[in-house]
Amino acid sequence: MGHLLEWSRAYTGRLLNTDDTVSSSVLSTLQERLKRELGDGTLPFLSMTYVAQLERDMALVLPKVKPFRHMLLLGIGGSALGCRAIQNAFAPGQNLPDHNGPSVWVADNVCAEQFEALLARLDPKETIVVCISKSGGTIETIAQYFLVKDWLMNALGEGWTKQMVVITDVRKGYLREEAVRHGLASMEVPDHLGGRYSALSAVGLLPAAYLGVDWKGLLEGAASVARPLANGEPMKDHPSFALATWAHALMNRGYSQLLFFCYIPQWSVYGPWFAQLWAESLGKEGKGSQPVAATGVTDQHSVNQMFLDGQRDKGCLFLTSRSQPGGRSFGSNLPEKWAWLRGKPFGNLLEAEALGTRMALCKSGVPLVNIDMENTHERSAGALMMLLEATTVFTGWLMGINPLDQPAVELGKRLANTRLGAPGYSEEEADLKAFFDVPRKEQAF
């Protein structure tokens, strides 16, 4: 049966499928665009033309990182979230008691307290550092790189270069210069593969391979979803385009939030990964829908009340798998009050509660598509990632915005750099001055 999209409750409430079809002229323009952008290399996440090089690089670099007990990953945004999702889904051992195997520690913030705590606990001699930045110049990542480089040098002297790997642009950027200058092992982020579309490149897959995750399975699953699009089959028949059409119609009908309700708890960190993909790609020109990641069943006891009975501004992607393990069963000794659970596997709760919540959302009129995965193997996760990435790009095209850039977040970065004393930001210096010139209105509490 494979993975399924279940559509019976998708077009409901203010969303009527008759009103929201894409015209044939729009469709043929988009089909042409897809052909063009696959051809000119703008969509490497979909064409996956980078895979042969990735496999060659992996063969060289993986043996260098494997012997280490810890991997310290420096990166942020798209350079960190895919790895974190994959680690939590497929190498959860390091989150459990008495872990002995390899561990990946993702440093994606600039909290000095957390950073010091991490470095204090890691032994540099047992740690391979992987610094990931497509641009090679992201302040958070580069700042960590400088500090961790010193940390390694203090412990290893010249040997630090053997314990630093960079994943960055093939030709340009500060990190690439560092790799060349010091002869660091490196892997590439291919041209046009932006951070949030890069989890299935070296960015997410070197850490995955280090952890023993079936990284080739992730790629195969992704390729199985990408193939019809890459082969020029009609995009209107592809599930990602159906999802994009639906998501776009939701926006047009005032549904300003898109829930990603994950009832595969092992995959819960795909929620933040998807949220970043959706928000950074589609929050443009006053348009888009706010992604809201939630995990079942945990969030039934937190945000679900708002989903069910708050503003009627939410659509929902509801993620389940029909092959979750049953686990241990309840004994026959359960008290009479709970006798209906006797003999049932614990896993039945997840299935029943997912159904209950899905039905409740539908009853509240939330337009909902159920993504039901055949199983929770790596291949399936790869398929889901590709489905969501393609959906995101096509939704952006239907909205008439560029889903591959993120211009609005640049301002905050420039202002932060100015605050830190970076030269060349005269306009931002004036902005900072104007900001501080406004009299403060303080209230103690």
Farthest CA pair distance, the chain: 74
One-letter identity of residue 117: A
In terms of CB distance, is 190 or 195 closer to ligand PA5? 195
**Is the distance from CB of 57 to CB of 202 less than 8 angstroms?**
yes
Q: How far apart are CA 204 and CA 89, in angstroms?
A: 13
Q: Residues 149, 216, 236, 413: which is the catalytic one?
A: 413
Residue 238: CB partners within 8 Å, gap ≥ 6?
228, 229, 390
In terms of CB distance, is 135 or 348 closer to ligand PA5? 135
Q: How far apart are CA 100 and CA 109, in angstroms?
A: 26
CB of 204 to ligand PA5, least distance (A): 11
In terms of CB distance, is 33 or 192 closer to ligand PA5? 192
192 is catalytic: no
CB of 139 to ligand PA5, least distance (A): 9
**CA-to-CA dists, residue 336 to 331, 340, 344, 347, 352, angstroms:** 12, 8, 15, 21, 21
Q: Residues 301, 337, 433, 441: which is the catalytic one?
A: 301
413 is catalytic: yes
CB of 275 to ligand PA5, least distance (A): 11
Q: How far apart are CA 332 and CA 15, in angstroms?
A: 48
Measured on CA atoms in the order 323, 328, 333, 336, is the torsion positive or negative? negative
**Is the distance from CB of 207 to CB of 71 less than 8 angstroms?**
yes
In terms of CB distance, is 78 or 204 closer to ligand PA5? 78
In terms of CB distance, is 141 or 321 closer to ligand PA5? 141
Angle at 81 between CA 46 and CA 416, to 5 degrees: 110
Q: How far apart are CA 126 and CA 130, in angstroms?
A: 13
In terms of CB distance, is 91 or 277 closer to ligand PA5? 277
SS3 23: coil
Determine phi and psi for 166, rounding to 5 degrees.
Answer: -115, 145
CB of 106 to ligand PA5, least distance (A): 13
Reading the block at residue 265, the tokens are 């708890």
Q: How far apart are CA 113 and CA 118, in angstroms?
A: 9
Q: How far apart are CA 385 and CA 425, in angstroms?
A: 38
CB of 75 to ligand PA5, least distance (A): 6
CB of 83 to ligand PA5, least distance (A): 11
Tell me the pairing of strands 314-321 and 103-107. Answer: unpaired
**Is the distance from CB of 201 to CB of 190 less than 8 angstroms?**
yes
**Which residues pair with residue 127 across a beta bridge?**
70
CB of 295 to ligand PA5, least distance (A): 22
In terms of CB distance, is 75 or 239 closer to ligand PA5? 75
In terms of CB distance, is 62 or 275 closer to ligand PA5? 275
**Full strand arrangement of the beta sheet holding 70-74:** 103-107, 70-74, 127-133, 164-169, 185-189
Residues in the chain: 445
Q: How far apart are CA 38 and CA 338, in angstroms?
A: 57
In terms of CB distance, is 190 or 194 closer to ligand PA5? 194
CB of 238 to ligand PA5, least distance (A): 23
Residues engaged in binding ligand PA5 (CB under 6 A) = 76-79, 133-135, 138, 141, 194-196, 280, 406
One-letter identity of residue 175: L
Q: Residues 140, 178, 188, 280: which is the catalytic one?
A: 280
248 is catalytic: no
CB of 82 to ligand PA5, least distance (A): 10
Q: Which residue is nearest to ligand PA5 (CB)?
A: 195
One-letter identity of residue 425: Y
Reading the block at residue 6, the tokens are 């279940």
Catalytic residue list? 280, 301, 413
